[in-house]
Amino acid sequence: MKPPAVILHTVSHRLFQLGFVALTLFIPFSIAGANFGIGFSLLAWMLAAIAFRMAKPGEITTFRPQIKVRNDPLFWSAVLLMVSAAPTLLISDDFQRAFKDWRSYWLLSICFVVAANLAVHRLREVVFWVLFASITISCIVAMVQRAGGIDAGFIHIDAQKRVGSTLFTMTFAGILYQTILLTLAVVLRKGTELRSRIILWAGVSLQFVAILLTVTRGAWLALFAGLAAICLLVRNKTVLIFGTVAVVLVLSFAVYTAQHTGRNVSPVLLFRQLDVHASTRLVLWDIAWELFKKNPVLGVGMGDYETEANELVGDRTVTTTTDSHNVYLQVLATRGLVGFLPFVLFWWLVFRSLFGVRKRAEKGSIEWHYAVGAIGATVAILIGALTENNVDDEEVFIAFMFITGLALSTKYVVSPKNDNTGG
């Protein structure tokens, strides 16, 4: 009979497989399903830690990267980011809403659980292809929405002019520009076999058409920024051609789609009539800056932006006051400098970690291209944050944490003979 520690370690391995595949599968479909996958992954990590503590020397031959996670400045910056928001949680008038926002910080764990365990459990390439298949199916659902929907037995898909698959339109768009950039970075790898290259290019094209049909200008801008970053990192004519074609297609779509469900998507229309969505953002940004100036240290409280904005909006016309539609101003207004400085530190360390992986990996390796894709996604997220609270959108942030973890999945790997982490 196998020792208890070995049995427990085997169980944790199976749970990792279930958790990561479930997480990857549900990223473009369902927050509930993604949370299910995260929960199983965290449970698996806990069981693995217990197994290693129970094991006698030599019983478990795989290695543990947990100690490297605990020594990583990126991990501690995530902890600091969470702690820095606590004071603004306590001063918030709407404590329930503030606590809900603060509780979402647990999603930061995805990056470290994924990074520490994908390579160890030999799941990295598996989950990449599961994510690719899942986002492809989600895009097909979006195409059905655009085509008029379908109602056949238990399958019911409503018609939508602005597609969103099973998610909110802007959420779907926020996930799409990240997966486009990751897939593009992988398809540019010279070692990719022809059949896989054809499949990946078909997927990238489908995802691009889907993001076009979301009619989400902020997502288009974020995608262009990510494409520019990948172009600079890879210096490949193919990505330059793809980026140029993408810009031309988006501009053509915007020009020839005069008005789409009340949204002015054409650059010409911006000068001919009021763009209520753009004007709303200008008002909300002004309000956020005013709130920061009044409360520069702690802000007004994590859950209080909407309440404060309703008092300051006056007779100005806006479509919403839920948030500032700008992550940087939102953090400044609601958490002040106490929350903003750790926020900046976290993103700086994300970049440093990703560029570190790219530098250490052999150029042209799959690890190198994962890092490039994640860097492109990071640039896209931060540019998208100028016009949307994308980081506060849980589905979008889950996708980003997963992609970042995928790219960092070799960072914590050590050989068994060098794993002197104790029990």
User: pLDDT by residue for the chain (423 residues), tens digit each?
Assistant: 678 888 888 888 888 889 999 999 999 988 888 888 888 888 888 888 888 788 777 666 665 666 678 788 999 999 999 999 999 888 888 888 888 888 888 899 999 989 988 877 788 899 999 999 999 999 999 999 998 888 877 788 888 888 999 899 999 999 999 999 999 999 999 878 889 999 999 999 999 999 999 988 899 999 999 999 999 999 888 888 998 999 899 888 877 765 555 565 655 544 555 567 778 888 899 999 999 999 999 999 888 888 888 888 877 777 788 888 999 999 999 999 999 999 999 999 999 999 999 999 999 899 999 999 999 999 999 999 999 988 888 999 999 999 999 999 888 775 444 443 333
Question: Closest Cα partner for 17 from 126, 106, 108, 115?
Answer: 126
**Model confidence pLDDT, tens digit, residues 135-146:** 999 999 999 999
d(CA 50, CA 46): 6
**DSSP track, 334-400:** HHHHHHHHHHHHHHHHHHHHHHHHHHHSPTTSHHHHHHHHHHHHHHHHHHHTTTS-GGGSHHHHHHH
Q: How far apart are the first and last CA of the chain?
A: 23
Q: Which residue has the tokens 């085997």?
A: 10
Nearest to 28 by CA among 178, 206, 208, 184: 178
CA distances from 183 to 55, 118, 178 (A): 40, 18, 9
Domain boundaries, the chain: 1-56, 68-414
Instruction: Give the pLDDT confidence of 236-253 residue by residue, as tens digits.
Output: 888 889 989 998 998 888
Alpha carbons 163 and 322: distance in angstroms, whole number: 22
**Which burial class, exposed, middle or buried, applies to 84 when counting CB atoms under 10 A from its CB (0-12, 13-18, 19+)?**
buried
Report whether 105 contacts 85 (CB < 8 A).
yes
**H-run or E-run covering 128:** helix 124-147
Rg (CA), the chain: 22
